[in-house]
Amino acid sequence: MSFMDETIASLHTKIKNKDVKVSELTENTYQKIRDVDDSVQAFLTLDEERAMEKARALDEQVDQGSEQPLFGIPAGIKDNILTAGLKTTCASQLLDNFEPVQDATVMERLNEQNIVTVGKLNMDEFAMGSSNENSGYYSTKNPWATDRVPGGSSGGSAAAVAAGEVPFALGSDTGGSIRQPASFCGVVGLKPTYGRVSRFGLVAFASSLDQIGPLTRTVEDNAYVLQEIAGHDPHDSTSVDVDVPDYLSALEGNINGMRIAVPKEFMEEGVEAGVKEQIQSAIRTLESLGASCEEVSLPNANYAVAAYYLLASSEASANLARFDGIRYGVRKGDGDLMDVYKKSRSEGFGDEVKRRIMLGTFALSSGYYDAYYKKAQKVRTLIREDFNHVLHSYDVILGPTAPTTAFKIGEQKDDPLTMYLNDVLTIPVNLSGNPSVSVPCGFSNGLPVGMQLIGKPFEERILYRVAHAYEQETGHYKEKPLL
């Protein structure tokens, strides 16, 4: 059985009808990983023994649990989401020996649905990066072209789904870290509204920006996963207590009369011609389905990257202060306390993490706070107001997810500024807190292109409605990489 030919719904039906056992499905998953992961390198840690034990137990519970839509479905989890008893490293040498004693809230909810956790997925260290090349272990490869990056920081999650290793994976999105790799790998990736999904148990990079979301092959599969992980969590003070609607009911296929905004800033210089061509083709498709698409302006979007890297780095410098080699993680040095701090952090953190800690510490320092951090917060407010203004008149905003297709491994590694611009189209959404989804919308020179849809806060249903109608009309999700 290949996940390339199955959806979560079809797997659920087969398990429910006892056409396939959960243990058989899990065995198949690990065989697929053995077959392709040497080429992709999506996984950091596998949990085969415990997964098979759970799968065999679920074989005996099919009759009781068969109404759970994710019952027995194998999943990969980004390695910055806590998994009790399963190593969680954030792809950092500093946490190489860290085994959490509790699950993140999203894992508790998925385990209540009786998923099978296959293992932990590679990422840019502490979620800082856009290519997966900042992993403290090795770089994940793009299944469509293994000499190219899968995007980041959730590159392992996107690559595992694209390669057919798992039907769904969880990632986290701070500045585009779900959507950009989803675009590069030709899968569906959703960043929910900030506060829609609990961050409790997500190792923090930038607390006011981070959000957990699903990566899947289809929009319907994405809706299945969000349905189970969304909702208020009293353990997370940023979790919002609003009702979770039935996302699957939004997949009706009818978008007639919907108004779609296309910001001119998202189609300017810097966006590859092949990417523009696929987005323009997607616009024509949506118009053929009855939607109207009009050009608008988000005038402050051009300041988003500068504001983001000040804010995110400032929050990172505070959050990562807890990793000191004392309480958990790898300890280096055997001298006094300062010696342990210095050696643990200098040897444990990679170059990109150190770069952002230093940038954030500078921005928060006396004499610079007002000039940098405070001003960046004001820009963030202007960006949020831009989105609110446009979405007052339109149902969704449309544009490319990334300005380019996947670039070659090593091509931008030594150019941080160019690397940062890979998220230029996704960062504004994290600053505003709106939901956004990336959906495959064709190919440029044989590499996937992603279309980004942005919606009103807590209106993920509308995003799914438009994305599903487009997906079913075009069938891009049926394209598969040849590994």
The residues assigned a catalytic role are 78, 153, 177
Planar angle of CA 124, 128, 134, nearest 5 degrees? 40
Which is nearest to 301 in space by CA: 181, 402, 432? Answer: 432
- The CA distance from 88 to 77, in Å, is 10
Q: Within 10 A of 45 (CB to CB), how many other CB atoms are there?
A: 17
- The CA distance from 161 to 218, in Å, is 10
- The CA distance from 211 to 191, in Å, is 7
Query: 3-class SS at 161?
Result: helix
**Cα 126 to the chain's mean position, in Å?**
13
Pairing of strands 74-78, 211-216: unpaired
- The CA distance from 148 to 447, in Å, is 10
**Cα 369 to the chain's mean position, in Å?**
30
CB distance 59 to 22 below 8 Å: yes
Amino acid at residue number 86: L
Query: 3-class SS at 189?
Result: strand
**Cα 388 to the chain's mean position, in Å?**
24
Q: Please report which helix (H) or strand (E) contains residue 111, including its range.
A: helix 105-112
Q: E-strand spans in 29-108?
A: 43-46, 74-78
- The CA distance from 261 to 392, in Å, is 11
Give every strand in the sheet of 292-296, ordered side by side.
43-46, 116-121, 74-78, 168-173, 211-216, 188-191, 436-444, 447-454, 396-400, 259-263, 292-296
Kindly state the tokens that stand for 322: 């807890």
Q: How far apart are the first and last CA of the chain?
A: 16
- The CA distance from 483 to 477, in Å, is 17
CB distance 478 to 465 below 8 Å: no
Tokens 């087969």, residue located: 14
CB distance 198 to 236 below 8 Å: yes
